[in-house]
Amino acid sequence: MVRTLRCNDTQEYFIDYLEGDMGETKRKEIENHLIECESCKEEMKELQQIVTGIESESDLIQVPDGFMNKVSRKVSNTQESRQKVNKHRVTMGLVATLFLTIFVGTAVATNSFASVKDWWKDLSNKQNEEMQGYIDHGIGERLNLEAESNGVKVTITNVVADDIQTLIYYEIEDQKKENKYMINISDGLKIANQDQNWISEDDSSYSPVTNSLSLYSESDYIFKGRLGVSPMSIEEGTIKLKLSKLEKLKSTPVDTEGSQISVPSGNDEFIEGDWRFDIPVKKYPSIVHDIKVETKIEGNPVIFDKVTIAPTITIVSYRYTNENSDKNMEYINFDSLESKGKRIYDNQIFGGYNGSGWSEGGWNSSEATFESLYFEKPKKVRLHMGSATFSIKDQARFAIDASKELPQTFKYLGNEISIDQIGIGEPTKIVMTEELNPKRTYEMLDYHFYDKDGQGSSSDSVDGYYIDKDGKKYKGFENFYRLNDLEQPRFFSTEHHIELSRDDKKEHFVPVGIEIEGYTITSFSNQIIEIPLK
């Protein structure tokens, strides 16, 4: 029997739900609650809109679909804090942190990019090259299955599948040459035979389609994309894909030179129709290497248990435990995986395999994903460390009086924090700024606002600065696309735009204080881990 969660418990797991980082039972509990609770359903919808599109280079930057997958594992929100505090902070700082992990890898491996458009074109070209590689090695299919309805033609161009994931590439053409449309995986898409070919435990809300990726298209009326689907329970079969509506896109400027990217309109604008496909799929098996390689990161034991080399992805499975309760290692970011002198990077953040993670017996288990080594069949690999994010407990409470004059300031670890604006309403909006003095010890705060009843859920949009190894400072998104030029940059938050609501929605949220649980810091490493493969 799957229980239905309360609002507080549901919102606590919003980010984990969106990134697919939870067990089947918990996912069903979340979905059952969303069916019954219109308020949480709307909150989730708003969060999805933030996740799939962050608009404008300077303060709300727009990136392709699927970009925010895995955000909460790439940043410093601690699980302990999320259990205590009801918040879903999808921030500009988190986006920047995520972009950092990509640009330090992808840009070094290819080119420096002048704009998001250049980077996106490069990403899309790599997708095309990978798909062609699958076909050349006989494990991918070029299909060109077409269906037309209501003046819009949808073409399934290619498919490749293994026992980790199935990737379906598609194009959508508005033959009236009026609009651009995309597949919305949560609205208007159905796998008609999912009960036969996927294990869903009779859950009516289950869908094997887990993610999507937007690919670059020169045309104003042709959209290109990729769907990620969980592997079928059979080795060979058919995906019966049915589309009943497609989402309308709008063009959004992404840089000062006028480059634009098509993104969801945000107004729930769809075109209805009937597009059906029988997609033939054959799974190809992974090569699994059971290993046991041990190391330590700042005294914390890390054990690498398995390397899975699938046609579409390479997965390094590992676990770690914390030896210091006051300095908790939250996330390990691996720079690259080296094989036969060639270094490969994580290409799965943008809409691919979601990975998994869990905690048991004091050990945190996780997975690092990289480009596929399937055709190289290496005898050993070298894992290049990148950085680790730590959360530091250092609690403090500060009172706030919304009826008094602003700004209201206080000091935390010698750094001044200021409440500059408070607008009571639904939601209540707060602007908070942080000093960035040369002696500041923390990077980002773990905090929450509370009202007279201790209630509240929040969303937080953050900007700040990068500071490199030499102490040089760079304004957040003004230097966003040159991150690959910076050595060991760390992101320091300085400006927060916060929206708060009471869980019961019966009255406006009136803040009476802010509680800081602690903060995060990043530690860099040039350690290289040798992993022999049996």
| pLDDT tens sequence across 246-261 | 999 876 554 445 455 5
Whether 112 shows a pLDDT value over 60: the answer reads no
Contact between 212 and 264 under an 8 Å Cβ cutoff? The reply is no
Contact between 313 and 348 under an 8 Å Cβ cutoff? The reply is yes
Which one, of 181, 185, 166, 172, lies nearest residue 242 by Cα?
185
**Positions of CATH 2.60.40.1630 in the chain:** 7-69+111-282
Burial of 135 (0-12, 13-18, 19+ CB in 10 A): middle
Which run of H or E residues covers position 156? strand 152-161
Contact between 181 and 171 under an 8 Å Cβ cutoff? The reply is no
Joined together, the tokens standing for residue 105 give 């890898």
User: CATH topology for 287-391+525-532?
Assistant: Immunoglobulin-like (2.60.40)
Which residues, at least 6 apart from 73, have a Cβ–Cβ distance to it below 8 Å? Answer: 19, 21, 331, 355, 357, 366
Q: Give the pLDDT confidence of 292-334 residue by residue, as tens digits.
A: 999 999 999 999 999 999 999 999 999 999 998 889 998 888 8
Joined together, the tokens standing for residue 51 give 């996740």
Tell me the residue type at 333. N
- d(CA 372, CA 347) in angstroms, rounded, equals 9
Contact between 517 and 447 under an 8 Å Cβ cutoff? The reply is yes
Joined together, the tokens standing for residue 229 give 């689907």
Q: What average pLDDT is seen over the chain?
A: 79
Q: Give the pLDDT confidence of 274-297 residue by residue, as tens digits.
A: 999 999 999 999 999 999 999 999
Q: Give the pLDDT confidence of 66-110 residue by residue, as tens digits.
A: 333 333 333 333 333 322 222 333 333 333 333 333 333 333 344
Which one, of 63, 68, 55, lies nearest residue 94 by Cα?
68
Dihedral sign computed on CA atoms, order 262, 267, 272, 278: positive
**Positions of CATH 2.60.40.1640 in the chain:** 287-391+525-532
The answer as to CATH 1.20.1740.10 being correct for domain 7-69+111-282 is no
Say what the pTM is.
0.74
- d(CA 275, CA 295) in angstroms, rounded, equals 52
